Amino acid sequence: MRRTKFLIRKEIKQILRVRIMLMLIFVMPLIQIVLLSFAATFEVKNLNIIFVDKDKSTFSQQLISKFEASKYFIVKGHIFNTKLADRLMKNRKIDIYVEIPQKFEQTLIHTGKNEINLVTNAIDGTKGTFASIYTRMILADFLKDKSTQYAIKMNKLQQVKKVKNIDIQYSNWFNPYLNYKFFMLPGLIVLLVSMISMVLAALNIVREKEIGTIESLNVTPIRKYEFILAKLIPIWFIGMFELMLGLLISLLFYHVPLIGSPIALIVFAGIYLLVPLGLGLLISTMTETQQQAMLFTWFFNIVFLLLSGLFTAIENMPHWAQMITYFNPVRYFVEVIRMVMLKGSGFAEISFQLSVVAIMGFLVITLAVWRYRKTAG
Amino acid sequence: MKRMLAFIKKEFIHIWRDKRSLLILIGMPLVQITLFGYAITNEIKDANIAVMDKSKDVTSERLVNKIISSGYFKLDSYIDTKQELEQKFKEGKIKLGVIIDNKFDDNLETEGISKVQIIADASDPNTANTLINYLTAIVKDFNNELNRTNEPVFTIDMRTRMRYNLEMKSVYFFVPGLISVILMLISAMMTSISITREKENGNMELLLVSPVKSIQIIIAKVLPYTFLAMANAVTVLLVGYYVFQVPVYGNLLFLLSECFLYVLTALSLGILISTKTNSQQAAFMISLVGLMLPTIMLSGFIFPIENMPIVLQWISNIIPAKWFLIIIRDVMLKGSGFSSLWHETLILFGFTLFFIFLSVKNYKERLQ
């Protein structure tokens, strides 16, 4: 035990000695959490729109002013030439253009029917869909106004009264103001903490291998488990410390709610951290050089990140990919931290995730310890 | 020159020898494009909803049917109380709750108005927002159908054209982004690591006292990764084209030269990182923690930059990937050429020069 204590002290010194590493472990992730959580929004607004108004009538003016009043669009102007609109779209000046045909007003009044063209830049599919949905809504609004006006004019009031309206009311539970930082911040913290603990665990051991100091350690009476414990415990504390710091920042500065049980969250985090630590250890037993270990951890981290549900919801994935995410530890923590903080879940609701993560941690660490041998080569 | 060639050969052998690393470097882009092509999408379909239908009449049933048959929503269950709804939300079973008011049909007929309430699980605001918009559009559509018998005075047919991505595939959106992320990470990370490695192992000292010039050392170090990165870019383009039918409308040669310029930017960034630190770990952490997330999040790869707060939009300007992403998306999907992209190209070029300038300034012939 005394031996382990000394070893731990050595490890902590080794980590804290390199100033740039301190920056990288503590300062940079926090800056990223603070900044990047603002970036993660899919909310589509400020769509740049231009009108190719071939009619220049009262109707087309009124339609355009409806767009101007909408918070989703920024009207960039009216032009008369479709080719120019195409060019503007190609050069990214506009996201959408609406083409209002000649005699728009006349045709509409006489025949009651007309059509307009909407062209959107659909490279970003979400944006394209939203542009079309928003336009449709504004158009429907416009038509309703006009229909009512003309019905009144033509004494068809009878008909107007019969119009049926479905009144839609909205409520957003768990996050009434749709503050996406509440959603992203906890997830980002999880990601960074997992990434850093895994990298540190993997690299610290391989480094001893690469430099050759592991040979010296191997000939000392230090036991296998002592060596591993001494390596992992400081990193576990770093991970926990970082998590707490991240949580504190999100609670104090971003006012992310923590409705559920903090104890449940901390217990989960403590057990969860065993998984990235174990994975790091496992990687270090399978690689010879730091470079290899880095590439492995990089690979794992990117796959974990993409399949964690952090940026894109897991429910939207095809079934087989959803199955794969069950093997992704990060997925569980992202899920749990959101559940506990935003929905007020406690031990009861997260018991499934907790047990999966505990089993994962146990398996990974057992495997890694079994693979770790006190002999070189 | 001969010395230089020998040196380059050595670097290639270094990389070639380590088969496992090579496998990851080549396999990584394939795994990523597969994930993005098949698995990762921000298209929403089959979101689970719970319906609390207080009227259970013909019209409300028609509405529910319309919602479910839209392809966006899947009925999880009918519920009777708000408590049940809350429970469903907490268990994460549903994303949306729809409450249809009492006497839905009656009220529509007599009063001309009825209420529908949409409740979203806004703990994921992005999804909630999208779903609410979809559902609103469906209900409004339904509303119009109800009124169709009344012969509205005016109708306008809206014809929508989805330019550059007819079928709205998200893979069109992701493939160019993927290339810009992969090239940045591989080039910057591998360069910085392999140079710091020589420092850490003490080989740098030996190299510096040899007749090889430092510029030659650096070029020899960087060259294999240039090849590797370009090979990765081509792989992703090929897989994107043949497996996911992502087109390249622009000039292929122009596209590849832009890729090359961007790889140079990333490599010079890698060199800059290696002048700042002597340890592989630190170099790696800078590339992983410092580059990965900002490149993914601030380049417009997943999240559109226009929607970010203005400060982040400014910051995004110093992310080289942002500029390259504009270039590659436009060349691939819009068929743009140099005339409309010279501005972005120039910026990338500027970045490269700036990084090289800083590296030269930081470079020390002598190690401590």
The CATH number of the domain where B96 resides is what? 3.40.1710.10
Residue predicted with more confidence, B317 or A34: B317
For residues B143 and B66, state if they share a domain: yes
Average pLDDT, chain B: 85
Average pLDDT, chain A: 85
Residue predicted with more confidence, B159 or A89: A89
B244 and chain A in contact, CB less than 8 A: no
Q: Give the 3-state secondary structure percentages of chain A, helix then strand then coil, rounded to 5.
A: 70, 10, 25
Contact between B127 and A313 using a beta-carbon 8 Å cutoff: yes
| Residue of chain B with shortest Cα separation from A200 | B281
A23 found inside a domain? yes
Compute the Cα dihedral for A195, A207, B18, B356 and give only its sign.
Answer: positive
User: Which stretch, A301-305, B33-37, B257-261, has highest mean pLDDT?
Assistant: B257-261
Confidence band of A145 (pLDDT split at 50, 70, 90): confident
Q: Which domain holds residue B318?
A: 2-40+169-362
Contact between B289 and A28 using a beta-carbon 8 Å cutoff: yes
pLDDT score at B51: 92
Q: In the numeric block, which tokens belong to residue B329?
A: 């998306």
Contact between B172 and A113 using a beta-carbon 8 Å cutoff: no
pLDDT score at B348: 94
B219 found inside a domain? yes
For residues A11 and A67, state if they share a domain: no
pLDDT score at B150: 56
For residues A337 and A214, state if they share a domain: yes
Contact between B333 and A123 using a beta-carbon 8 Å cutoff: yes
For residues A242 and A363, state if they share a domain: yes
Q: Which residue in A117, A142, A321 is closest to B159 by CB distance?
A: A117
For residues A33 and A51, state if they share a domain: no
Q: Which domain holds residue A53?
A: 47-161
Tens digits of per-residue pLDDT, A264-306? Answer: 999 999 999 999 999 999 998 888 888 888 888 888 888 898 8
For residues A285 and A256, state if they share a domain: yes
For residues A198 and A135, state if they share a domain: no
- A21-25, A188-192, B37-41: which range is least confident on average? B37-41
Residue B312 has φ and ψ, to the nearest 5°, of -70, -30
- A322-331, B70-79, B206-215: which range is least confident on average? B206-215
In order of B22, B84, B88, B128, B250, the CA distances from B50 in angstroms are 49, 9, 8, 14, 47
Domain boundary residue among A115, A131, A161? Answer: A161
Please spell the DSSP secondary structure of A31-75, one letter per residue. HHHHHHTTT-------EEEEEEESS-SHHHHHHHHHHHHSSSEEE
Q: How many domains does chain B have?
A: 2
Could you give the CA distance from residue A290 to residue B309 in angstroms, rounded to a whole number?
Answer: 39
Q: Which residue in B114, B153, B172 is closest to A166 by CB distance?
A: B114
pLDDT score at A330: 94
Residues 134-193 of B with CB under 8 A from A: 134, 136-137, 139-140, 142-144, 146-147, 150-166, 168-170, 172-173, 185, 189, 193
- Yes or no: say if A184 and A40 are a contact pair by the CB < 8 Å rule: yes
For residues B70 and B208, state if they share a domain: no
Q: Which residue in A129, A303, A316 is closest to B41 by CB distance?
A: A316
- Yes or no: say if A339 and A345 are a contact pair by the CB < 8 Å rule: yes
Confidence band of B105 (pLDDT split at 50, 70, 90): confident
For residues B121 and B93, state if they share a domain: yes
Report strand pairing: A113-121 vs A96-100.
antiparallel
- Yes or no: say if B22 and B186 are a contact pair by the CB < 8 Å rule: no
B162 found inside a domain? no
Residue predicted with more confidence, A376 or A62: A62
Residues 16-45 of B with CB under 8 A from A: 18, 20-21, 24-25, 28, 31-32, 35-36, 38-45
Domain boundary residue among B103, B118, B148? Answer: B148
* For residues A340-359, average pLDDT: 89
Give me the percent of chain A exceeding a pLDDT of 90: 20
Confidence band of A336 (pLDDT split at 50, 70, 90): very high
- Yes or no: say if A236 and A197 are a contact pair by the CB < 8 Å rule: yes
Q: Which residues of B touch A302 (CB under 8 A)?
A: 28, 32, 292
For residues B225 and B340, state if they share a domain: yes
For residues A111 and A205, state if they share a domain: no
Domain boundary residue among B117, B148, B179? Answer: B148
- Yes or no: say if A292 and B20 are a contact pair by the CB < 8 Å rule: yes
Asked whether the predicted pLDDT for residue A376 surpasses 50, the reply is: no
For residues A200 and A305, state if they share a domain: yes
Confidence band of A30 (pLDDT split at 50, 70, 90): confident
* For residues A23-36, average pLDDT: 81
Report strand pairing: A165-173 vs B47-53.
unpaired
Q: Which residues of A touch B330 (CB under 8 A)?
A: 90, 92
Q: How many domains does chain A have?
A: 2
Could you give the CA distance from residue B179 to residue B29 in angstroms, rounded to a whole number?
Answer: 8
Contact between B160 and A196 using a beta-carbon 8 Å cutoff: no
pTM given for the model: 0.82
Asked whether the predicted pLDDT for residue A164 surpasses 80, the reply is: no
B350 found inside a domain? yes
Residue with tokens 């020390």: B364
Compute the Cα dihedral for B186, B189, B195, B198 and give only its sign.
Answer: negative
Q: So what's the ipTM on this one?
A: 0.79
A81 found inside a domain? yes
For residues B218 and B319, state if they share a domain: yes
A35 found inside a domain? yes
- Yes or no: say if A97 and A60 are a contact pair by the CB < 8 Å rule: no
For residues A79 and A216, state if they share a domain: no
- A109-123, A141-155, B241-255, B307-321: which range is least confident on average? A141-155
| Residue of chain A with shortest Cα separation from B175 | A123
Q: Which residue in A25, A168, A302 is closest to B139 by CB distance?
A: A168
Confidence band of B168 (pLDDT split at 50, 70, 90): low
For residues A219 and A157, state if they share a domain: no
CATH of the domain at A109: 3.40.1710.10
| Residue of chain A with shortest Cα separation from B44 | A316
Contact between B304 and A162 using a beta-carbon 8 Å cutoff: no
For residues B189 and B247, state if they share a domain: yes
For residues B336 and B262, state if they share a domain: yes
Beta partners for B50?
B77, B97
For residues A32 and A54, state if they share a domain: no
For residues B52 and B31, state if they share a domain: no
- Yes or no: say if B311 and A322 are a contact pair by the CB < 8 Å rule: no
Confidence band of A326 (pLDDT split at 50, 70, 90): very high
B155 found inside a domain? no
B164 found inside a domain? no
Tens digits of per-residue pLDDT, B297-317? Answer: 888 888 888 878 888 889 999
